[in-house]
């Protein structure tokens, strides 16, 4: 997907600590490939409405480490963050369905974490799952 390609190139490469200087000067994406990305479905107002949070910044984080956690431990990290006061958590852009943490398992443990944190805090919480894949059928 265009989203995965772009975040992998820009997000990961620019994050290498060994690089002292780097500048992306050009990125050419074939038109047929770019047509697969329709853009974000909505903006910040919809997110505020869904989370019922207004008049302040939304607080969130990316779950780390991005690799190595089981789906259960990943869900536990989501719960701890949400219970600790964050409004939302999100998958790292490179987290997808892996042998040690399948997408469906991660989804189920994250859903459990959200429900538990909401019940304990009385606030609406959220988690943004990476659902990118090579094709719509894979998603």
21 and 55 in a single domain? The answer is no
Q: How confident is the model at residue 133 (pLDDT cuts 50, 70, 90)?
A: low
Residue 41's contacts (CB-CB under 8 Å, 6 or more residues apart) are none
Q: Residue 21: give the domain boundaries.
A: 1-39
34 and 46 in a single domain? The answer is no
Q: What is the pTM of this model?
A: 0.73
18 and 81 in a single domain? The answer is no
Pairing of strands 126-128, 88-90: parallel
CATH number of the domain where residue 75 is located: 3.20.20.110
Q: How many domains does the chain have?
A: 2
32 and 76 in a single domain? The answer is no
DSSP string, 65-93: -SSS--HHHHHHHHHHHHHTT-SEEE--T
Q: What is the pLDDT of residues 56-98, one digit of tens each?
A: 999 999 998 877 889 999 999 999 999 999 999 999 877 777 7
Question: Higher model confidence: residue 87 or residue 17?
Answer: 87
Percent of the chain with pLDDT strictly greater than 90:
45
65 preceded by a cis bond (ω within 30 of 0): yes
Residue located via tokens 């992306």: 24
């Amino acid at each position: 997907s265009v989203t995965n390609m772009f975040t992998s190139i820009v997000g990961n490469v620019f994050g290498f600590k060994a690089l002292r200087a780097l500048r992306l000067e050009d990125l050419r994406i074939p038109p047929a490939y770019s047509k697969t990305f329709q853009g974000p479905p909505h903006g910040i107002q919809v997110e505020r409405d869904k989370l019922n949070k207004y008049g302040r910044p939304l607080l969130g984080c990316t779950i780390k480490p991005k690799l190595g956690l089981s789906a259960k431990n990943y869900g536990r990290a989501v719960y701890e963050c949400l219970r600790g006061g964050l409004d939302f958590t999100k998958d790292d852009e490179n987290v997808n369905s892996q042998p040690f943490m399948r997408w469906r398992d991660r989804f189920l443990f994250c859903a459990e974490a959200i429900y538990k944190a909401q019940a304990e805090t009385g606030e609406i919480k959220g988690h943004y799952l990476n659902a990118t894949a090579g094709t719509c059928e894979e998603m």
